[in-house]
C-alpha cells in the first residue's frame, strides 16, 4: 500500500519532495537517489512513496494525494527530530561510540574499529553523525529495513535475478535491476528454483 502521494507543480517542488525522501533512506526502484528531472519534464506531477519512490503523470485513482504545501507543512512538524537510516552494524557501532567519554576522539584515533560506520553514508549523513556524537539531540539513527532479492543459476551457470515487467515476473542478469522487497513480501514470490539473498 502506498504510504504517500504528493502532487507537485514545479521542478523545485519535485526536488524538494525527493530530498525529504532521500534523507529518509528511500530511493527510486533502481535504488538510485537522483532527481531524474527528465521524469518531471516529461509530465511527472505525482510522486509516490512506498518501498521505493515512483511517479505518475496522471492523477492517481488508488489513493488521495496531498498538495506540496501540505506535504511540506507535515515535514516541518516531523522535522523536530532528524532521522537517518543505517545498517544494524552501523547502529551498534554508533551506540558504542556515543557511550564513550570522548566519542569524536575515539572515532579519529581508533578508526579501524569504526571504519564500517562510514560505509554507505553520504556527506549529509556523515555530518549528522558528527553532530550526533558531539551531543546534538535532534538527531536519531534507526535501522533501515533490510531488502532482499531472488536469484538462481541458469543453465549456462550464470546468476540471474527475478524482476517484474508490467506485473509479470521475469529475470535479468543485472542484480541492480532485480525486484527487491522486505522479507515478508519477497517470500511470497520465492519458489524452490529461486534463492533468497540480502541486498547490500
Task: Please report where in the chains the cell 558504542 appears, as a residue.
Answer: 96
pLDDT of amino acid 186: 86
Q: Please indicate, yes or no, whether residues 74 and 87 belong to a single structural domain of this protein.
A: no
Q: How confident is the model at residue 14 (pLDDT cuts 50, 70, 90)?
A: very high
Q: Please indicate, yes or no, whether residues 61 and 86 belong to a single structural domain of this protein.
A: no
Q: Please indicate, yes or no, whether residues 89 and 57 belong to a single structural domain of this protein.
A: no
Q: Please indicate, yes or no, whether residues 52 and 95 belong to a single structural domain of this protein.
A: no
Q: Please indicate, yes or no, whether residues 105 and 165 belong to a single structural domain of this protein.
A: no
Q: Say whether pLDDT at 62 is over 60.
A: yes
Q: How confident is the model at residue 8 (pLDDT cuts 50, 70, 90)?
A: very high
pLDDT of amino acid 110: 66
Q: Say whether pLDDT at 41 is over 70.
A: yes
Instruction: Report residue 59 as a C-alpha cell.
Output: 492523477
Task: Tell me which residue range forms the domain holding 165.
Answer: 148-198
- Cβ burial 40-58 (10 Å sphere, 16+ → b, else e): beeebbbbbbeebbbbbee
Using CA of residue 112, residue 197, residue 177, residue 88, what is the dihedral sign? Answer: negative
CA–CA distance, 29 with 44 (Å, rounded to integer): 16
State the average pLDDT over residues 88-94: 86
Q: How confident is the model at residue 1 (pLDDT cuts 50, 70, 90)?
A: very low
Give the residue, 43 or 109, on which the prediction is more confident: 43
Q: Please indicate, yes or no, whether residues 155 and 137 belong to a single structural domain of this protein.
A: no
Q: Please indicate, yes or no, whether residues 22 and 87 belong to a single structural domain of this protein.
A: no
Tens-place pLDDT, residues 168-188? 888 888 888 888 888 888 888
Give the residue, 121 or 190, on which the prediction is more confident: 190
Q: Please indicate, yes or no, whether residues 121 and 159 belong to a single structural domain of this protein.
A: no
The pTM of the full predicted model, rounded to 2 decimals, is 0.42
Give the count of domains, the chain.
3
Instruction: Report residue 122 as a C-alpha cell.
Output: 553520504
State the average pLDDT over residues 163-169: 81
- Answer with the one of 78, 107, 128 that is the final residue of a domain: 78
Per-residue DSSP letters for 108-127?
Answer: HHSHHHHGGGSTT--HHHHH
Amino acid at each position: 500500500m502506498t504510504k504517500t502521494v504528493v502532487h507537485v507543480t514545479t521542478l523545485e517542488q519535485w526536488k524538494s519532495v525527493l530530498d525529504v525522501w532521500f534523507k529518509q533512506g528511500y530511493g527510486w526502484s533502481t535504488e538510485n537517489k537522483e532527481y531524474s528531472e527528465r521524469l518531471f519534464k516529461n509530465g511527472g506531477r505525482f510522486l509516490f512513496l512506498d518501498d521505493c519512490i515512483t511517479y505518475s503523470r496522471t492523477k492517481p485513482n488508488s489513493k488521495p494525494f496531498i498538495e506540496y504545501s501540505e506535504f511540506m507543512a507535515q515535514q516541518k512538524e516531523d522535522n523536530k527530530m532528524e532521522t537517518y537510516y543505517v545498517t544494524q552494524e552501523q547502529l551498534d557501532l554508533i551506540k558504542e561510540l556515543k557511550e564513550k567519554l570522548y566519542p569524536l576522539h575515539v572515532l579519529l584515533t581508533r578508526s579501524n574499529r569504526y571504519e564500517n560506520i562510514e560505509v554507505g553514508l553520504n556527506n549529509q549523513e556523515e555530518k549528522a553523525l558528527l553532530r550526533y556524537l558531539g551531543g546534538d539531540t535532534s538527531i536519531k539513527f534507526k535501522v533501515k529495513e533490510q531488502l532482499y532479492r531472488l536469484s538462481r543459476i541458469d543453465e549456462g551457470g550464470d546468476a540471474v535475478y527475478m524482476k517484474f515487467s508490467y506485473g509479470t515476473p521475469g529475470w535479468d542478469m543485472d542484480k541492480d535491476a532485480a525486484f527487491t522487497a522486505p522479507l515478508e513480501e519477497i517470500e511470497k514470490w520465492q519458489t524452490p528454483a529461486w534463492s533468497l539473498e540480502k541486498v547490500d
